[in-house]
Amino acid sequence: MTRRLPAAGIKLVDLVLTYDVAGNELLDAFGKELRDGSCWSGGGDRADTLSVVMGRLFRFRQAALSQAMAVYRQEQKQLQRREIPDMREAVRQALTGELGDAEAERRLGYRMNTRHVGFVVWGAGATEATLRGVAARLCSELRARQDLMVLPDGHALHGWLSVPESAPGVDVLRARLSVPDGIRISLGMPHYGSNGFRITHREALETHSLTDRSMPQSARSDAPADASRIVSFRDVAALVFASRDVELARHFVRSQLAGLVEPRHSVLRETLRVWFEELGSPTRAARRLNVHVNTLVKRLNRASDIVARPLHAGDFAFRYAFELSRIHHMNGVSEPLERGH
């Protein structure tokens, strides 16, 4: 019944008023029974009963109204989208700033004044139904309040989710969301408002493009398969920026890491990765790697000898170069950031 209301031109405020009237009618009928019914003998009993019933009625009304409003809004959004002859054109205009917030919201059926996460779902030979199914599960895992999706070229599904502050982070998402073989997801960072709508989309597109070119496998040797299937802009931001000048980035990495980029030093690089993530704590890093702390310290000293400099967890230049190099080591690339990898 509720699904037919938007098409009939009935406004949401009228739906709310209908529930208010129904609630008042039920309360009036129960009050009349309390006053006139012969089965009630004690005033105290009547007051207690009225209190309990009013509480239950209020909670029932709120739950029913919330569900009805959600159904109404969903149907209204679908109706608005069906009325737009070319959703892709409306999205393009929203991204270029040709549409103001109010017009963009009207045409897209999607609120702008919210916290957005952009995404791309793609896979070689995947059907639209498969891509939308993965996107729907992503929407559920991130507890999205609303979503917007377009298929611009038939090969990749672009979208936005309005997510709460309490939405799970990328690491939790990787643990919870099972992604089918051959399907990958790129995510932008959360951003607010219409400008955030555009920025998170750009981040998701950059991540998608870079992942296709440079990450045929996981950048981490200990990562599960799903870790390489869900890639956040946070994971590849350094490489995105560095890819603007590949030659300079390659020389920067070599100047910072020296021979540490060579494939034979994979154990040392993995030790450094964990050590960085543990903020330079040898004890915590050794525990994660399941080695004795003395073994870990020896590895760090060996890495220090190779790069000919002391190692500090707060050394930004070294850490940045290290992150740039990591993404290629799964393929045995000793010179990172080569074109075509």
**pLDDT confidence band for 335 (50 / 70 / 90):** very low
Task: Judge whether residue 313 has pLDDT over 80.
Answer: yes
Bigger pLDDT: 213 vs 224 = 213
Indicate whether 283 belongs to any domain: yes
Angle, vertex CA 213, rays to CA 207 and CA 218, nearest 5? 75
The span from the CA of 42 to the CA of 321, in Å, is 81
Question: In terms of domains, do 271 and 318 share one?
Answer: yes
Domain assignment present for 94: yes
Residues 97-107: pLDDT tens digits? Answer: 999 999 999 98
Residues 80-89: tens digit of each pLDDT: 555 455 788 8
pLDDT score, position 87: 84
Report angle CA 217, 118, 245 to the nearest 5 degrees: 55
With H, G, I as helix, E, B as strand and everything else as coil, classify residue 114: coil
Give the CA radius of gyration of the chain: 28
pLDDT in tens, 177-205: 989 988 999 999 999 999 999 999 999 99
CATH of the domain at 133: 3.30.70.2730
Q: For the domain that residue 289 is a member of, what is the CATH number? A: 1.10.10.2840
130 shares its domain with 75 = no
Q: Is residue 336 part of a domain?
A: no
pLDDT at 310: 94
| Per-residue pLDDT tens over the stretch 275-306 | 999 999 999 999 999 999 999 999 999 999 99
Tokens of 80: 């608005």
CB 276, CB 313: distance < 8 Å: yes
Of 228, 232, 233, give the one whose Cα is nearest residue 182: 228
Whole domain around residue 278: which residue ranges?
Answer: 237-331
Q: Answer yes or no: do 77 and 9 share one domain.
A: yes
Same domain for 47 and 31: yes
Phi and psi torsions of 136, nearest 5°: -65, -40
Report pLDDT digits (tens) over 96-146.
999 999 999 998 989 999 999 999 999 988 898 899 999 999 999 999 999
For residue 82, count CB atoms less than 10 angstroms from its CB and return exposed for 0-12, middle for 13-18, buried for 19 or more: exposed
Q: Are residues 117 and 168 in the same domain?
A: yes
What is the torsional sign of CA 253, 271, 184, 232?
negative
The predicted structure's pLDDT at residue 18: 73
Structure tokens at 227: 């870790």
End position of a domain, from candidates 214, 249, 281: 214
Residue 196 confidence (pLDDT): 93
Last residue of a domain, one of 83, 98, 133: 83
Which of 51, 83, 115 is a domain's end point? 83
How many other CB atoms are there within 10 angstroms of residue 162's CB atom? 22
If asked whether residues 106 and 69 sit together in one domain, one would say: no
Instruction: Give whole-number Cα distances, 57 to 2, 51, 63, in Å.
Output: 21, 10, 10
Number of domains in the chain: 3
Euclidean distance between the first and the last CA atom of the chain, given in angstroms as a whole number = 55
Q: Are residues 255 and 144 in the same domain?
A: no
Predicted TM-score (pTM) of the model is 0.58
251 in any annotated domain:
yes
Q: Are 107 and 179 members of one domain?
A: yes
**What value does the mean pLDDT of the chain take?**
81
Same domain assignment for residues 139 and 208: yes
Q: Which two tokens stand for residue 244?
A: 């603007």
Q: Within a domain: residue 225?
A: no
Residue 165 and residue 115 in contact, taking contact as beta carbons nearer than 8 Å: yes
Residue 241 belongs to a domain: yes
The answer to whether residue 230 sits within a structural domain is no
For residues 153 and 260, membership in a common domain is answered with no
Look up tokens 């939405």; give the residue: 167
Residue 204 sits in the same domain as residue 121: yes
Whole-number Å distance between alpha carbons of 341 and 327: 10
Residue 50 belongs to a domain:
yes
261 and 305 both lie in a single domain: yes
